[in-house]
């Protein structure tokens, strides 16, 4: 590489860094909250200050180790300190061993709402210090009377909690929170890698994306850097070099590409944690529709025929209903499933030995005296008879049509 090329490369890095620094300082000045007070000191909670509500723990100096779960759950709580959430917008968790399995939530309770528990799911584990901007949560306000961590899933090795620190506003904490957000696991979005923004986003679970998407921010950063370079050339009365702009574009593209590769590494780790060493049955139980899968397997045990016709009735109330309905159709194979959504099939369409599966926690059907009828608002049709209820659980009810 020639001396000119090296100068262009390093000057591109300098320009990008300077523009980023100025942008951070400017944004930090604009976003500084009204409650900011330079005299506010952090609230420090050592790991040993947390008590185990559920699960098994041990302590070592100021560190707490979570060594076991109870019924796949654990909860650590601290109610010794009370503080105003408005003065502490950033949550810092210092730990070791935290991963995507078990699922980890930070929870808190507020004065005046003692019976309500609010949560924030942790999604970033790329280093041992996690910083979260809690001011984005609509319930992070008022006087906090209890904070803690909950764990749900599988615990393959002990987890270490060093401390939980509630930080007042500062530019460094703000930068750290954005950095953690950008490099957090993004989940399975089903979108192009060009839309990776960092932070957990899952349209199936209705988890919102990050506050500062990475791609638009880098595009603005690159544009301002090019404008800065052109302004410098104008002040120095020299001709702009297109190679310099291409180098800046290349550096920004490399950063996005590294983020894309990092996402795939995280996906690999998540898949290993979630599925490695498990049977197919236990892999299904690790999916986000595990409850519906377990229910489908119980339904299949009550269907005596090798292949049968199963008519679904589902009162659609949420966007996820259709997704789970199709997942249940898959889990019920080799039986033939017919989705009737919010209606019952016509009695003339049924054969002896057919099944009707009423899905959902709330039923829109009425079963009385071997007669199954639908809500009149959903279906003004005569009831189906004779029919028997052969299986019932929280998520579904299975009926068998005996024929005329």
- Select from 83, 90, 82 the least CA-distant residue to 33: 90
- 84 versus 367: which is more confidently predicted? 84
- Percent residues over pLDDT 70 in the chain: 86
Q: What is the pLDDT of residue 67?
A: 92
The 3-state DSSP class for residue 8 equals helix
Q: What average pLDDT score do residues 303-324 get?
A: 76
Q: In the predicted model, what is the mean pLDDT of the chain?
A: 82
Q: What is the pLDDT of residue 250?
A: 92
Apex 282 CA angle, 279 and 284, nearest 5: 110
Residue found by looking up tokens 């909670």 in the block = 45
Could you report the per-residue pLDDT of 9-25, keeping only the tens digit for each? 888 888 899 998 888 88
- Determine contact, residues 386/402, Cβ cutoff 8 Å: yes
Distance, CA of 306 to chain centre: 39
Residue 369 in this model has a pLDDT that exceeds 80: no
Q: What is the pLDDT of residue 33?
A: 74
- Report the sign of the C-alpha dihedral through residues 166, 44, 54, 97, in that order: positive
Could you report the per-residue pLDDT of 220-264, keeping only the tens digit for each? 999 999 999 999 888 888 888 888 889 999 999 898 888 888 888
Residue 205 in this model has a pLDDT that exceeds 90: no
- Calpha distance 274→284 (Å, rounded): 10
- Determine contact, residues 107/84, Cβ cutoff 8 Å: no
- Select from 263, 117, 97, 274 the least CA-distant residue to 196: 263
pLDDT band at 109 (very low <50, low <70, confident <90, very high): very high
Q: What average pLDDT score do residues 350-366 get?
A: 81
- Calpha distance 278→16 (Å, rounded): 47
The pTM score is: 0.70
Could you report the per-residue pLDDT of 132-190, keeping only the tens digit for each? 888 878 889 899 999 999 998 888 888 999 999 999 988 888 888 888 878 877 666 66
The neighbour count for residue 172, using CB atoms within 10 Å, is: 12
């Amino acid at each position: 590489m020639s001396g000119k090329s090296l100068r262009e490369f390093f000057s591109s890095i300098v320009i990008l860094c300077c523009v980023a620094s100025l942008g951070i300082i400017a944004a930090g000045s604009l976003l500084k909250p009204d409650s900011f007070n330079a005299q506010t000191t952090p609230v420090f909670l050592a790991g040993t200050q947390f008590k185990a509500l559920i699960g098994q723990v041990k302590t070592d100096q100021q560190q707490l180790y979570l060594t076991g779960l109870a019924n796949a759950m654990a909860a650590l709580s601290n109610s010794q300190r009370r503080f105003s959430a408005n003065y502490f917008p950033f949550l810092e968790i210092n730990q070791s061993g935290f991963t995507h399995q078990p699922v980890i939530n930070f929870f808190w309770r507020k004065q005046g709402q003692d019976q309500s528990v609010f949560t924030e799911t942790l999604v970033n584990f790329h280093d041992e210090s996690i910083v979260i901007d809690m001011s984005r949560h609509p319930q992070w306000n008022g006087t906090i009377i209890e904070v803690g961590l909950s764990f749900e899933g599988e615990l393959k090795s002990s987890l270490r909690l060093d401390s939980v620190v509630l930080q007042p506003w500062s530019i460094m904490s703000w930068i750290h929170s954005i950095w953690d957000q950008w490099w957090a696991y993004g989940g399975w979005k089903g979108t192009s890698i060009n839309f990776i923004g960092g932070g957990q986003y899952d349209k199936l679970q209705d988890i919102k994306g990050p506050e500062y998407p990475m791609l638009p921010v880098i595009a603005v950063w690159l544009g301002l850097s090019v404008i800065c370079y052109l302004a410098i050339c104008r002040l120095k009365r020299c001709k702009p070099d297109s190679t310099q702009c291409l180098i800046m574009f290349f550096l920004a593209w490399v950063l996005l590409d590294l983020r894309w590769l990092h996402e795939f590494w995280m996906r690999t780790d998540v898949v290993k944690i979630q599925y490695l060493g498990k049977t197919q049955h236990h892999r299904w139980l690790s999916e986000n529709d595990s409850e519906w899968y377990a229910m489908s397997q119980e339904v299949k045990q009550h269907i005596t025929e090798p292949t049968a016709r199963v008519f679904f009735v589902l009162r659609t109330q949420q966007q996820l209903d259709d997704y789970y309905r199709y997942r249940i159709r898959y889990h019920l194979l080799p039986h033939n499933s017919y989705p009737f959504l919010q209606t019952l099939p016509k009695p003339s369409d049924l054969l002896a030995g057919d099944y009707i599966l009423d899905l959902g926690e709330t039923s829109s059907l009425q079963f009385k005296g071997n007669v199954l009828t639908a809500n009149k608002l959903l279906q003004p049709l005569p009831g189906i008879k004779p029919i028997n209820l052969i299986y019932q659980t929280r998520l579904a009810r299975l009926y068998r049509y005996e024929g005329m």
